[in-house]
Amino acid sequence: MATARMMSAASNTSASCLPHKRPFFSLSQKVPSFNSLCFNNTTKRVSKRLFSCKSIYNPDVRIKEEGHPETLDYRVYFLDSSGKKVSPWHGIPLHLGDGAFNYVVEIPKESSAKMEVATDEQFTPIKQDTKKGKLRYYPYNINWNYGLLPQTWEDPSLANAEVEGAFGDNDPVDVVEIGERRGKIGEILKIKPLAALAMIDEGELDWKIVAISLDDPRASLVNDIDDVEKHFPGTLTAIRDWFRDYKIPDGKPANKFGLGNKAANKVFY
């Protein structure tokens, strides 16, 4: 997955997690792929992996809300078992083993408040995004749970030759979770990736990983892009169209997509 890099694996000890946009550590490999993230489990590709898919640990965290929802002061912090604040971006592990990953819900499905991890604040809490001092909302509800893969980063210094030479957007990698249950802000779900869309937002590459919660009743039925088309017909097109068009009501141009405007399978690299 070009321009999307993994951070170093989190340990069981909490970190101070001072505010910064860059990760604690990024891979030296120029273009890490979905395969580098162990999205593909075929044995013939094992030699190419930089990370094994061993389970690190399951995060024992809870959330603490400060302020009132839909206000400028509202924050959702993550606390470990000792009550110390940890970062949902840096302090939650990525790998769970067997092709499963942790995923942090920022925006629950059927809501419009533009919630996101505050990458420039200490402990990177979830807050509502702002523009010119005002809270931001999508022009209509998002139809899927939306959030991030912890310990990942869209590298802004590297151009992806396969996606129009676009550079990463300097944020964690985004996930669109298509399960039937509405998630909660700050909820950590176990997911498996199914496909990806290479969105280009104002010239920046902003991957959208399509995944499903392992707790979803249909999770066992879907393992790749063809299964999504079979059991969730029209979903990939709907996701692409939603992210393509959501800025148009604000007078901005539509977002673009690389890779022929189509979703890529999880083994793409």
Question: Tokens at residue 18, please?
Answer: 């001072």
Rounded distance between C-alpha atoms, residue 91 and residue 114, angstroms: 22
Dihedral, CA of residue 146, residue 149, residue 150 and residue 151, to nearest 10 = -150
Residue 138: active-site member: yes
Rounded distance between C-alpha atoms, residue 76 and residue 126, angstroms: 5
Dihedral, CA of residue 9, residue 200, residue 120 and residue 62, to nearest 10 = -50
Dihedral, CA of residue 127, residue 132, residue 133 and residue 135, to nearest 10 = -50
Question: 159 by DSSP, 3-state: which?
Answer: strand
* Residue of 74, 137, 138, 140 marked active site: 138
DSSP-derived secondary structure letter, 15? -
Catalytic center residues: 138
